[in-house]
Every structure is written in structure tokens, then in C-alpha cells.
Amino acid sequence: MTDGSSWRPEAVPATTIEECARLIAARLERCALELGASDLASPATWQQVADRLGVRYHTWYSPGGDRGECAWHPLFGCAIAINEAYPPREQAAAYVHELAHAAVFEWIPPQLTGAADVYRYDDDPGCVRHQVARRVEELVFPSP
């Protein structure tokens, strides 16, 4: 639109993305610990977390393909898919990433300080969710 009248939602502030990511990372890690997980780098740990959180998952094998996907359905919730062609630690990171996408879909807006809303964006909403998910991955798997 060029007439200047098109409505644009506000950008999601970086602080909201960080707050979202920290809440999600803390919840995922707590869930893994409650399940008695001994190895956060194991895909099996995150499969148990997915079960606990009610997120359906499946795997596929596609060398060179995407690491994972998350799909959301208003009635059936989230389902994630993980590519088993990657090494186990990368698969574990992909579970964390896709579970973070699922978390943004399902839990976040009412829980944030000041009712900040990650769906208030000036960008592709998938892009904002992805920024949150990347940050969650960094928090759970800090670079050495």
C-alpha cells in the first residue's frame, strides 16, 4: 500500500524476544530435569519433554534437509518433526528449537511482563517466533 493509511502493528521489542526466550528455555530445562534427564544433548531427552508437554513429534531422514519443523493447528495443537540425518546433538538442538516454536504458539502472550505480545510484530510472525526459538537454543546449548 502506498497511501499511508495501511495499519502496521508495532514491532516486537528485543526485550520481549529475550524475555520469551528465557521463560521458554527455563521451562524446557526444568521439564527435562523433572523427568530425570541426564543428558540434554540426547534427542531422547527432548522426546520425553515433548511427550510431557503434549507436543506430538515424529522424525524423518533427509540428508541435507531442514533440521526440523513445527506445525500448529488450532484444534490439535503443535506437532514437530525432526530430521534424523543430523548428529544426535544437532537433533537435540532441533527438538529444543521446535519445542520453542510450539511454546510461542501455545503459552507466551498472557505470561509476559506488561502483557507484551510476541504476536505484535512488524515482520513476518514466523520470523519473530524463529528469533525466539534461536535464542532458546543458544540458552539451552551455550556455545563453548
Site string for Zn ion, 93-132 (x = CB under 5 A): -------------------------------------x--
- The x, y and z cell numbers of residue 64, run together, are 541435507
28 binds Zn ion (CB under 5 A): no
What is the chain's length? Answer: 144
Site size for Zn ion (CB under 5 A): 2
* The one among 24, 50, 133, 136 contacting Zn ion by CB under 5 A: 133
Toward Zn ion, which CB reaches closer, 50 or 133?
A: 133
Contact criterion met (CB below 8 Å) for 17 and 128: yes
Give the span between the Cα atoms of 31 and 63, in whole angstroms. Answer: 30
CA distances (Å), origin 36, targets 40, 46, 138: 10, 12, 22
CA 20 to chain centre: 10
67 binds Zn ion (CB under 5 A): no
Toward Zn ion, which CB reaches closer, 32 or 104?
A: 104
Q: Rule CB under 5 A: which residues touch Zn ion?
A: 130, 133
